[in-house]
Chain A
Amino acid sequence: MSQYHISSSNLTFSLYENKIVYSRENDSVKKECTEYWFNNQNEIHSLEEMSEISYIVSGSNSYIKDNGWSNTSNIAFTESDVVNLYSGAKTISDVVNDVMSVNSTDEEDAIQLIKDTNPYVKGWSI
């Protein structure tokens, strides 16, 4: 897996024993990126940014949810989450068709709206 470096704050993120850890330049100590750390720092500005980092470092963009961070139950990190969170949908096609229907729009626009509304999701099938 890759490392992720933020040059402005000399922070480097990497994977260690299946946990995302961070270290600062000139400091060999690696510390785990916990929810407590996230809530008490000001270098990563959003869950979206943290999700992006976790995707680069661990290959999974659902790391936050998988590790039990709070307030993530209504956020879609995978296409399955999109389906599960969409009222009455069982497949991603159901989501596309309902967005098309309720907004009287075409498939291309509906897919764009779904992706815009779920910015954490990687690897779309649509």
Chain B
Amino acid sequence: MADIYATNDGIVLKNIPATSGGSWDAARDATTGQVFDASSVSTTTGYGRIRIFTYSGVERWIIQRVYMEFDTSGITTLPTDATLKIYGTGQNNSDLIVVKGTQSDSLVADDYDNLDFGTVYSAELATWSTSGYNNFTLNSTALAAIRDNNDFKIAIINYDYDYLDVDAGSNARHETGGYFSEADSQYRPYIDVTEEAPDPVAFNEFKIKNSNLNIKKSNLKFNPK
């Protein structure tokens, strides 16, 4: 079992008014947004935020996506299990899903659309605790990505509207809160990876040179780490 904590986490947010061509499609299909690093994101609403609202008489659309990555360079065999754990707080009315992230090594505005909707790493998480860790069970595609990449990059997005590309309608508010890597250690996002232990090495005879120790016909086994 290995706990690997998130790095380079933060959000990229698109906020576009109707007067600048704003619409659901314009917001979802945008290629650039505004970056907020882990220290400046609202933890109460930071995850999978969809907000459609009126400002100074003009309708606006906000879609907010979370990006983070994990150093998986030490994992070279296919894990048997892996769970993404996010400590919840604040709001809990945006169902979330994890997909492949293709963001930069340092998050930038152009990373807004650097995610792969077609490469899903988890099922939809429809329930959210605001006072404990929430667990995304990572699927076989994610497990292979953990094995094959030194940096396992993900995007966490709203499921019902952003992932499915369904217009959330007017005056919509779907937000879920959770902590980022700037939080105290007991709240930080991490992945819990389980690797299968290698087969033990069995010996028919075990001798230590220049000693009298000689074990034969026993069930002596060593379990490599």
B119 interface residue (CB < 8 Å to A) = no
A residues 19-59 with Cβ under 8 Å of B? 45-46, 48-49
Most chain B beta carbons < 10 A, residue from A85, A103, A119? A103
Range class of the B interface residue count? 20 to 34
Closest CB in chain A relative to B38 CB, distance in Å: 17
Contact of B53 among A45, A85, A89, A113 (CB under 8 A): A113
Interface string of B151-168 (1 = CB under 8 A from A): 000000000000000000
A residues 104-126 with Cβ under 8 Å of B? 104-105, 108-109, 112-114, 116-117, 119
On whether A113 and B55 interact (CB within 8 A), knowing A45-B110, A119-B34, the answer reads yes
Closest CB in chain A relative to B73 CB, distance in Å: 23
User: What residues of B have a CB within 8 angstroms of the CB of A105 in the complex?
Assistant: 53, 173
Chain B residue with the shortest CB-CB distance to A95? B56
User: What residues of A have a CB within 8 angstroms of the CB of B60 in the complex?
Assistant: 117
- The number of A-B residue pairs with CB atoms under 8 Å apart is 45
Most chain A beta carbons < 10 A, residue from B45, B55, B60, B109? B55
B80 interface residue (CB < 8 Å to A) = no
**Measured between alpha carbons, how far is A99 from B34 in the docked complex, in Å?**
21
Chain B residue with the shortest CB-CB distance to A45? B109
Interface string of A41-84 (1 = CB under 8 A from B): 00001101100000000000000000000000000000000000
B6 interface residue (CB < 8 Å to A) = no
Contact, CB under 8 Å: A104 / B171: yes
B114 interface residue (CB < 8 Å to A) = no
Secondary structure class of chain A's binding surface, majority of residues: helix
B42 interface residue (CB < 8 Å to A) = yes
Range class of the A interface residue count? 20 to 34
Closest CB in chain B relative to A77 CB, distance in Å: 15
User: What residues of B have a CB within 8 angstroms of the CB of A89 in the complex?
Assistant: 56
**Measured between alpha carbons, how far is A86 from B109 in the docked complex, in Å?**
26
On whether A48 and B51 interact (CB within 8 A), knowing A86-B56, A109-B173, A117-B15, the answer reads no
**Measured between alpha carbons, how far is A114 from B109 in the docked complex, in Å?**
20
**Measured between alpha carbons, how far is A48 from B34 in the docked complex, in Å?**
9
A9 interface residue (CB < 8 Å to B) = no
B127 interface residue (CB < 8 Å to A) = no
On whether A116 and B57 interact (CB within 8 A), knowing A45-B109, A46-B109, the answer reads no
A10 interface residue (CB < 8 Å to B) = no
B54 interface residue (CB < 8 Å to A) = yes
Contact, CB under 8 Å: B56 / A85: yes
A-B contact pairs, 10 of them (CB 8 A): A45-B109, A46-B109, A86-B55, A104-B171, A108-B44, A112-B42, A113-B51, A114-B55, A116-B62, A119-B34
Q: Chain B residues in contact with chain A, CB under 8 A?
A: 13, 15, 32, 34, 42, 44-45, 51, 53-57, 60, 62, 108-110, 171, 173
